[in-house]
Amino acid sequence: VSIQPSELAKLAAIFFLATYFSERRKKHRLKRVHKVKPRWQKLYDAFVDVTLPALMVIFWIVLILIQPHFSGAVIMGLVMVFMFITEGFSVKILMRGAAILLFILLIAAVLLMVIGPIVTSQSIGDFVETRFAHVINRLATFANPEEANPDEVRQVEQARIALGSGGLFGVGLGRSVQKLNWLPESHNDFILAIIGEELGFVGTFICLLLFILFFVFGVVVTVRAATPMTTMIAAGYTFLITIQALLNFGVATHILPTTGISLPFFSYGGTANFFFMLAGGMILCVSKSGKQEDSEIAQFLEPEKAKPRRVRAQKARMM
């Protein structure tokens, strides 16, 4: 079984950000944030609330890029942006944090340009061109398919043939021709094309409808979550699975460049589906909490926030 560290990193990043934001929210509510000079307090809060967690996730993204797994890094970047938007930071805090982050990244880029050639014995441009040659070729092929090598557009053309030959109801389950060594990665990245060939437009639409229903269910769970942390967890995992499914649909229909993005729950993959099922399980776990602040999941994730109302009322009377 192949292990994809990027799949684990996606789940870990969401859980990390949800936990981090929850702890920072708690410290702000209890006024336990670290105090600095008044003129630096806003910048310090923006750094700790926005810049620091972003740097931690960006570090993971860089490791995924070095792997290299460009599409995984893109999805993780989208997830990070979504989590920051979902947290509900004010525009001013986001702008301050983004400015500090940009300043740090510029310094890191300058240092990399100076130290990189010494360590790798080649310029940064040559390193990027060598490391991400496959990404550059795919983007060039997507932009100018007529000028591309026939072997480079073969996968897209065969996927288009598979989707077109399926018609309205398909050729029948298990009767696909394109999956017999005609369409590369037909069991993984381009499984949607085989679904379209065997089950037709109806089967493809049902597949899309399933992800729409999953998204709606995830939104309902997010809205009904008992605590801010469970809200972030449900929203993050719902977004992760939905955006990856949409990107896979875009690749299979040639709306987006070809990438190594699998279709959640459908594509054949080692640890990918395991982590997708784990994400779905977390959403179901949050759904069990509902609006009940004394639920087990809420107490486990945020014990102080989710204490039973009766206990909080007794403490209030004692005070």
Which DSSP string corresponds to 235-298? HHHHHHHHHHHHHHHHHHTTSS-------TTTS--SSHHHHHHHHHHHHHHHHHHTT-TT-HHH
pTM of the model: 0.83
Closest CA to 258 of 129, 149, 156: 156
Pair (248, 105) in one structural domain:
no
Residue 141 resides in a domain: no
User: For 71-75, 152-156, 243-247, 259-263, which range has the lowest pLDDT when averaged over its residues?
Assistant: 152-156
pLDDT value, residue 315? 47
Residue ending a domain, among 98, 131, 164, is 131
Pair (284, 169) in one structural domain:
yes
Residue 198 resides in a domain: yes
Pair (268, 202) in one structural domain:
yes
Residue 163 resides in a domain: yes
Residue ending a domain, among 78, 99, 131, is 131
Pair (108, 201) in one structural domain:
no
Residue 108 resides in a domain: yes
Q: What is the domain count for the chain?
A: 2
Pair (318, 172) in one structural domain:
yes
Please check the confidence at residue 275 and state whether its pLDDT lies above 70. Answer: yes
Pair (62, 25) in one structural domain:
yes
Pair (181, 307) in one structural domain:
yes
Pair (110, 200) in one structural domain:
no
Pair (6, 94) in one structural domain:
yes
Residue 136 resides in a domain: no
Pair (92, 17) in one structural domain:
yes
Q: Which domain holds residue 308?
A: 153-319
Please check the confidence at residue 293 and state whether its pLDDT lies above 60. Answer: no
Residue ending a domain, among 101, 131, 161, is 131
Instruction: Give the DSSP per-residue string, 162-198.
Output: HHHHTTTT-S-TT--STTTTTSTTTTTTTHHHHHHHH
Pair (162, 306) in one structural domain:
yes
Residue 145 resides in a domain: no
Pair (172, 231) in one structural domain:
yes
Please check the confidence at residue 291 and state whether its pLDDT lies above 70. Answer: no
Whether 229 and 302 have beta carbons less than 8 Å apart is answered as: yes
Residue 139 resides in a domain: no
pLDDT band for position 298 (cuts 50, 70, 90) = low
Q: What is the pLDDT of residues 33-82, one digit of tens each?
A: 778 788 888 898 899 999 999 999 999 998 888 877 888 889 999 999 99
pLDDT value, residue 316? 44
Residue 175 resides in a domain: yes
